[in-house]
Chain A
Amino acid sequence: MGFLIDRNLYVPAIDAWIDPAEPKPRAIITHGHADHARSGHGSVLATPDTIEIMKVRYGVDCAGRFEALDYRTPLDIDGMTVSFHPAGHILGSAQVLMEQGGQRAVVTGDYKRLRDRTAQPYEAVDCNLLVTEATFGLPVFQHPDPKFEIGRLLKSVEAQPERCHLVGSYALGKAQRVIALLRDAGWDKPIYLHGAMVRLCELYQALGVELGELLPATGMPKAEMMGQIVIAPPSAIRDRWSRRFPDPVVCQASGWMSVKQRARQALVELPLVISDHCDWGELNTSILECGAETVWVTHGREDALVYWCRQQGLDAEPLALPGLDDDGGEGGE
């Protein structure tokens, strides 16, 4: 079968790999999360924002060569046209469209459809072959409105002014989104950051995402942290690092938090169901909307989505890709 890409997301016509797990001479990177963007490639084709993110995370020389390509700008490589289209997942995240000889193949990377001012909004792209993620590929995932979830956080802060709320969020994407949601909900006090968040928040601000006043969380007197909100990586909120805060409320912002047994096991007191991925209904919509006859499913719970695609009369199969994060993390962060 003549697909433009193979099942390892290798593009033979231009000898390039999409989000490869190992260093490759030529890589196309959908977004900056660690299970998609790695250091050590010969050349990297990505959106300008993704390249900035990679440089901040891995160093300016993390790839031999960078080639920036704006959204919706066709680039001709050896007779194949490659273009990026917003995926709505995090800042700079892109779907990759490849066109050649009337065939159109799209690799979504990670994506979400919900509007979010920290990421360029998702656009549906017509194609014959769709390679979609399935992080939340089960019908039990029905993400609520993130505004509602942020409202629950603010209510909790108001009801317990003597405690400090620690919001576990992945450092890239989720942290900035949570901060933006808090700002949009009217929280104008400083927001405190774990050290691991600082550089990426600064980068987002430099790239034009308003996040308001951000301060380092460490070094503050304990008493002053009452009633404050701290954003920290999930690994820090239950560890020694959290002891410096007054009676912390452990919160976590993640799509997984909809499963209460999981929240309980993770000792999360206030789970916030805020996801940077499509939920089940959004995955269904996206697949139907792009008009693909063939769907390859990767990255998560493939079985259910493949089953559903076949019910819709589509050709579908799961891809087992190495190195992509499966359970527990969103986008491997």
Chain B
Amino acid sequence: MKRFADLLELLALTPSRLRKIEALKRYFTEVPDPDRGIALAVLTGEMDIRNVKPALLRETVLREVDDTLFALSYDYVGDLGETIALIWPHKGEGELPSLSETVDLLNRTSKAELPKVIGGLLSQAAIHERWALVKLATGALRIGVSARLAKTALAEMSGVPLQDIEEVWHGLKPPYQNLFAWLEGKAARPDIDHAARFHPMMLSNPIEDRDFEKLDPKDFSAEWKWDGIRVQLVMGPQGVSMFSRTGDDIGGSFPDVVENAVGEAVLDGELLVGHDFDAKSFNDLQQRLNRKVASGKQMQELPAFVRVYDILFDGREDVRALGWEERRVRLEKWFAAHPQTRLDISEILPFADWEDLGRLRRMGADEHGHEGVMLKLRTSPYVPGRPKGFWFKWKRDPNVVDAVLMYAQRGHGKRSSYYSDYTFGVWKGNEIVPIGKAYFGFTDEELKQLDKWIRAHTTASFGPVREVKKELVFEVAFDSAQKSGRHKSGVALRFPRISRIRWDKPAQEAARLEDMDAFVG
């Protein structure tokens, strides 16, 4: 347990991604089964200790600590788990059981006995072990480590490609002994039910102007690029799961989709919201994404659906090796055999040549707010990762606006001594109102220049934030603009980045708020 507590602490406090990976590799290499597998489950969010809920922990601690003192402390610390870990009044010198024994103990203990058992463990633990123990028990780590990072460490440690690990991941269960045995070359790849789990997705590459000369339009099919989130539906007798691109199961937040989808298949598509398959903006989808559990009202106002564009398994048959055109035929047949209320097929856009498609792309952007078009090689198999030459995204040109730098904030990690996060705004009458924030789009050399400029032009400091003279203009590129009640300007930008620093441009010539209306879709 001590080793696990040390790992969690290091992961929570080390800003460097590389160092986090190094620490994970060391842990997975040095710690034996089954502890390392339990740790992996905790880090990837696969560990659920059913009976331990925050209320139970609170009850445990209130047996030992005055409730007013607890409330004052919680108010100060702000995090329930951390408050409990810090306030526990008995200092432990004892050895905690190992990680797997601890998990086992928590799982075996009845609800009625749990406060006593947890209290006993807390009393045995040193302070930072208590912190790990509470994090473990509640499952809410909040230490800035994603499941993907943990799997990346496994890949680096073993030399097995990350894709191959993700390929089997969803068929495995903690403590993952078969996975580790495979990664260490001691056993064959785990044999799992391939139709019933998440499969890593196929991704596209942006198309460059010079690519068009080399590509024959006849070899490609085109579809709209939908502005939702990419999902994979795994449907079968076991039920329907819906996974995000990173393999997280997000079906629980979208019961309107998973409870209404019928048939057996693995499908690839875009999650959208809207009535009668009429997609609303990403902003609307975001309101659903932010919720773990969807309310009835939300599902009525923003019903979710999936626009399907590919099929990976037709029934139980793996069709990924077939060409795109053959898969498309399979997809259409499958839809004909399984009528759906929450799934539809992404339409094919007929076009004669690249120029024709370019016109279509502009029209789609202007009239319907489409993000662009997707090009798919008719013969391409479904290959996980980002293979070259198969799928292309042809995004519409970004919008740009000249905005004035207002505030700068210190960055994180390597950039923590630089002011690298910028808030910028546009004119509203005689004042400047913020429209967005960006922290990339410039080179390291430009960052140094900006940092210097900011330090020389600071008018006020608030903690890590500096307000600067409203003199420096950024050309900001962004994908779209939305109305927003949260910003003083009433406008928020989607995916803003600094495209150029306009050292030459006077702030008076920056955009005005009225100019933004043209972008709000």
Contacts and interface: CB of A to CB of B under 8 A. Distances in A.
Interface in B121-146: 127, 131, 144
A242 B131 CA distance: 30
A304 B73 contact: yes
B241 interface: no
User: A-side binding surface: helix, strand, loop or mixed?
Assistant: mixed
A232 to B, nearest CB: 13
A140 B13 contact: no
Interface string A224-240: 00000000000000111
B86 A259 contact: yes
B68 interface: yes
Contact of B87 (A140, A263, A311): A140
Contacts of B9: 260
Contact of B69 (A142, A243, A304): A304
A316 to B, nearest CB: 14
Interface in A124-155: 138-142, 144
Q: Which of A140, A238, A259, A301 has the most CB of B within 10 A?
A: A140
B15 A140 contact: no
Given A144-B127, A238-B410, A260-B13, A139 B82 contact: no
Interface stretch (A16-24, A60-68, A267-275): A267-275
User: B-side binding surface: helix, strand, loop or mixed?
Assistant: helix
B412 interface: yes
Q: Which of A138, A264, A303 has the most CB of B within 10 A?
A: A138
A81 interface: no
B127 A140 contact: no
Interface in B81-110: 82-83, 86-87, 89, 91
Contacts of B455: 240
For chain B, the bracket of interface size reads 20 to 34
Contact of B12 (A264, A303, A307): A264
B31 interface: no
A258 B88 CA distance: 13
Contact of B15 (A240, A243, A259, A267): A267
B86 A140 contact: yes
Contacts of A263: 13
Given A240-B417, A303-B72, A308-B69, A261 B86 contact: no
Contacts of A140: 73, 76-77, 83, 86-87
Contact of B416 (A259, A260, A267, A304): A267
A139 B69 contact: yes
A307 B417 contact: no
B72 A260 contact: no
Contacts of B83: 140
Contact of A258 (B12, B15, B91, B127): B127
Contacts of A261: 77-79, 82
A35 B13 CA distance: 31
B13 A307 contact: no
Contacts of A238: 410, 416-417
Contacts of B73: 138-140, 304
B14 interface: yes
A263 B82 CA distance: 12
Contact of A139 (B78, B87, B412): B87
A311 B72 CA distance: 15
B66 interface: yes
Nearest to A258: B86
Nearest to B84: A140
Nearest to B79: A261
24 contacts: A138-B72, A138-B73, A138-B76, A139-B65, A139-B73, A139-B89, A142-B91, A142-B127, A144-B127, A238-B416, A238-B417, A239-B417, A242-B417, A258-B86, A258-B127, A259-B86, A260-B131, A264-B144, A267-B412, A270-B13, A271-B13, A303-B72, A304-B69, A307-B72
